[in-house]
């Protein structure tokens, strides 16, 4: 269901130093070596960094065909490179290659099908920074929504949690960024869930309380409306496919708090999505989804760390012409993830155990519509 819903964000820990001029949501990944600095002649110094990794998994209650129809499988998780310039008046960021978006409680998609969402160049933008605290960026931009990174190497856990699932990933548009003292803010005019209709406004404001604590508030809404149920191209009027259309026309509000100590990080997040009643969209009543999470990571020593997360979501009782987010009208889901990680210079290996339990569901997990799912994902690879 994810690939039809979340055309989603964010380059964070890997390129946090190289996108300082562009506000974006932030998520901590695991230990990442410093990027290479290369003299590019008249362009100046650029940062180059990449990751190559693969994953294998075991899961109960598989569903569908392809990768997710298996109890066991494997695929490339990343074959990715980032080239960026974060100094001077004209800056840029290019991220290219193969990637995957594993998501808690949602079907696996093959890496080849995931790439079809945004292409082999999922993030590409130019930034004009006339002042140290003011910049404007244009292009394929990382999302401003939520804490969790879309690309799995940005995450403390391999799978994205429930709030992440409904957020945007990449949007095309223009973004203005400004900072003053402990406050930084970004506002973007974009095409939301990669709809190619530029009528969505999103924003993020972060208050750095001190070196260890910060509070972020984000939001997104459609300034008009996108598509209709009579569309014969992207929006086919056949049941839940219009859930994608409904997300394009919903409002999203959320907040997360982050504590980052010398060897410990923890972040709670809460998110609310409201979908209005709309004849144009074929919805007969408004609906909502509430999701929340608390994720944390602890560095045991220079090589070992462990991350864990608890996620929750609930969908409203009202079913709007088959459009709802989650596992059916009035459904709830609870998810748990535990991820130990080993790193050594550019090498990493991590294993994630996760479990999802549903209640009041009409759209369960797997071909047999079960209320729960266990997963074990092993990922290993190299930074370069």
Tell me the pLDDT tens digit for each residue of 249-292. 889 999 999 999 889 999 999 999 998 887 776 677 788 899 99
Token output for 100: 């995957």
| CA distances (Å), origin 97, targets 29, 37, 78, 142, 281 | 19, 20, 8, 16, 35
- Average per-residue pLDDT for the chain: 85
pLDDT class of 11 with cuts at 50, 70, 90: very low
Of 90-99, 105-114, 227-236, give the lowest mean pLDDT range: 227-236
- Between residues 316 and 14, the one the model is more confident about: 316
pLDDT class of 377 with cuts at 50, 70, 90: very high
- pLDDT score, position 19: 36
- Between residues 267 and 327, the one the model is more confident about: 267
Of 38-47, 191-200, 319-328, give the lowest mean pLDDT range: 319-328
- pLDDT score, position 210: 96
Q: How far apart are CA 114 and CA 107, in angstroms?
A: 12
- pLDDT score, position 117: 84
Q: Find out whether 288 and 276 touch, Cβ atoms under 8 Å.
A: no
- pLDDT score, position 28: 54
pLDDT over 90 at 203, yes or no = yes
Q: Which helix (H) or strand (E) holds 354?
A: strand 347-359
Q: Kindly state the average pLDDT of the residues 114-142.
A: 95
Q: Find out whether 171 and 150 touch, Cβ atoms under 8 Å.
A: no
pLDDT class of 243 with cuts at 50, 70, 90: low
| CA distances (Å), origin 359, targets 45, 107, 164 | 54, 18, 20
| CB-side neighbour CA atoms (13 Å) of 60 | 12
pLDDT over 70 at 242, yes or no = no
Q: Kindly state the average pLDDT of the residues 350-378.
A: 94
Can you list the domains of the chain with their CATH numbers? 2-383 (2.40.160.10)
- Between residues 351 and 116, the one the model is more confident about: 351
Of 24-38, 182-196, 203-217, give the lowest mean pLDDT range: 24-38
pLDDT class of 218 with cuts at 50, 70, 90: very high
- pLDDT score, position 282: 67
Q: How far apart are CA 292 and CA 254, in angstroms?
A: 9
Q: Kindly state the average pLDDT of the residues 336-349.
A: 94
pLDDT over 50 at 298, yes or no = yes
pLDDT over 70 at 22, yes or no = no
Q: What is the CA radius of gyration of the chain?
A: 20
- pLDDT score, position 286: 83
pLDDT class of 85 with cuts at 50, 70, 90: very high
pLDDT over 80 at 226, yes or no = no
How would DSSP label each residue in 189-219? EE-TTT-S---EEEEEEEEE-SSSEEEEEEE
pLDDT over 70 at 154, yes or no = yes
pLDDT class of 244 with cuts at 50, 70, 90: low
Which percentage of the chain shows pLDDT scores above 70? 85
Helix runs in the chain, H state only: 2-5, 111-118, 162-165, 242-248
Which positions ≥6 away from 213 have C-beta within 8 Å? 257, 258, 259, 260
Residue 371's SS3 state is coil
């Amino acid at each position: 269901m994810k690939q039809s819903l979340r055309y989603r964000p964010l380059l964070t820990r890997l390129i946090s130093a190289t996108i300082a001029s562009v506000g974006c949501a932030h998520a901590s990944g695991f230990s990442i070596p410093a990027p290479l600095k290369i003299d590019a002649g008249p362009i100046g110094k650029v940062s180059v960094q990449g990751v190559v990794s693969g994953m294998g998994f075991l899961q109960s209650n598989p569903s569908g065909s392809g990768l997710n129809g298996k109890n066991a499988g494997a695929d490339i998780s990343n074959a990715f490179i980032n080239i960026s310039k974060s100094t001077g008046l004209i800056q840029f960021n290019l991220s290219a290659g193969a990637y995957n978006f594993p998501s808690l409680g949602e079907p696996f998609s093959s890496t080849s099908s995931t790439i079809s969402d945004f292409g082999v160049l999922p993030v590409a933008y130019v930034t004009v920074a006339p002042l140290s605290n003011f910049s404007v960026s244009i292009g394929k931009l990382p999302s401003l929504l939520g804490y969790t990174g879309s690309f799995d190497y940005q995450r403390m856990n391999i799978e994205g949690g429930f709030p992440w699932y409904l957020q945007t990933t990449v949007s095309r548009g223009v973004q203005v960024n400004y900072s003053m003292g402990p406050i930084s803010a970004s506002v973007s005019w974009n095409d939301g869930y990669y709809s190619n209709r530029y009528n969505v406004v999103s924003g993020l404001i972060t208050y750095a309380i001190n070196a260890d604590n910060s509070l972020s508030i984000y939001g997104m809404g459609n300034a008009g409306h996108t598509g209709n149920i009579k569309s014969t191209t992207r929006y086919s009027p056949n049941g839940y496919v219009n859930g994608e259309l409904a997300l394009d026309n919903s409002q999203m509000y959320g907040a997360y708090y982050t504590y980052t100590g010398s060897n410990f990080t923890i972040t709670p997040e809460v998110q609310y999505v409201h979908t209005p009643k709309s004849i144009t969209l074929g919805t007969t009543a408004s609906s909502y989804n509430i999701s929340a999470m608390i994720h944390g990571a602890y560095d045991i020593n220079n090589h070992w760390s462990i991350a864990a997360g608890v996620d929750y979501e609930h969908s409203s009782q009202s079913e709007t012409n088959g459009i709802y987010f989650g596992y059916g009208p009035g459904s709830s889901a609870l998810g748990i993830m535990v991820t130990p990680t080993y790193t050594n210079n550019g090498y990493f290996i991590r294993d994630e155990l996760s479990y999802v339990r549903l209640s009041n569901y009409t759209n369960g997990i797997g071909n047999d519509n079960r209320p729960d799912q266990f997963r074990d994902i092993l990922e290993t690879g190299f930074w370069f």
